[in-house]
Copies of this chain bind each other. A is one copy, B any other.
Amino acid sequence: MTIRVPVVEKIMSANDRIASQNRARLDNARIYSMNLMASPGGGKTSLIELTIKNLAELLRLAVIDGDVATSIDADRAASAGAVAVQINTGGECHLDAVMLQSALRQIELDEIDLLIVENVGNLICPASFKLGTHKNVLISSIPEGDDKPYKYPGMYRGVDALVINKIDLLPYVPFDMDYFRRGVEVLNPGLLTFPLSCSTQEGLDSWISWVLQQTQSNRII
């Protein structure tokens, strides 16, 4: 451990330094940005598609998609009407600030109001790597089960908002919402939550209004 810890600390402090630079670039361009995290299949790409479709007439959107492989997600974001950049991490299980820095160079930042970064599908490692975005948003998904806050506490602790996706599946799977919410409350008291379904679009309006309001406030300040 005496060897390992300083190395880890150096990596994290280098990452944080570049994350600060990313934030400065985003602020200079008056871009509001969020880092969207979830398990594989939690619904990140579907939520991004719907966000683009609902806000494309009001905001200029960019999406940066992190995946181990393929450009499936960036292609979906581009089809929905956003500027889209794909990052393929190879084997890496999370995005880091350097990857975001490189991706930002591929976007005309002055032409963007809202940037959504879709992190790699993973409930553990993305929590440890700041990117420099303004908000960290986690998507939980009903069929994943109600014990996830208890089992992946690091992720729930560090986020600014929580989307509870696939609520249309509540009748078909065992999920105790009270137990789930108690776990969230212990880790992140008062956390803003958006229960919704990307399939039926129930609850979507609150999410869209929040994203719009946050982005507009950012441009007024």
**In the complex this chain forms, how many copies of it are found?**
2
Q: Which residues of chain B have C-beta atoms less than 8 A from A147's C-beta?
A: 70, 72
User: Quick check: is A17 within 8 A (CB to CB) of the other chain?
Assistant: no
**Those of A157-173 within 8 Å (CB) of chain B:** 166, 168-169, 172-173
Q: How many residues of A contact B (CB 8 A)?
A: 36
Q: Which residues of chain B have C-beta atoms less than 8 A from A151's C-beta?
A: 40, 67-70, 72-73, 121
**In the complex, are the beta carbons of A68 and B144 less than 8 A apart?**
no
- Secondary structure at chain A's binding surface: helix, strand, loop or mixed? loop
Q: Which residues of chain B have C-beta atoms less than 8 A from A169's C-beta?
A: 143, 169, 172-173
Which are the 5 A-B pairs with shortest beta-carbon distances?
A41-B144, A143-B143, A93-B124, A41-B145, A39-B40
Interface residues of A (CB under 8 A from B): 39-41, 67-70, 72-73, 91, 93, 120-125, 128, 141, 143-145, 147-148, 150-154, 166, 168-169, 172-174, 199
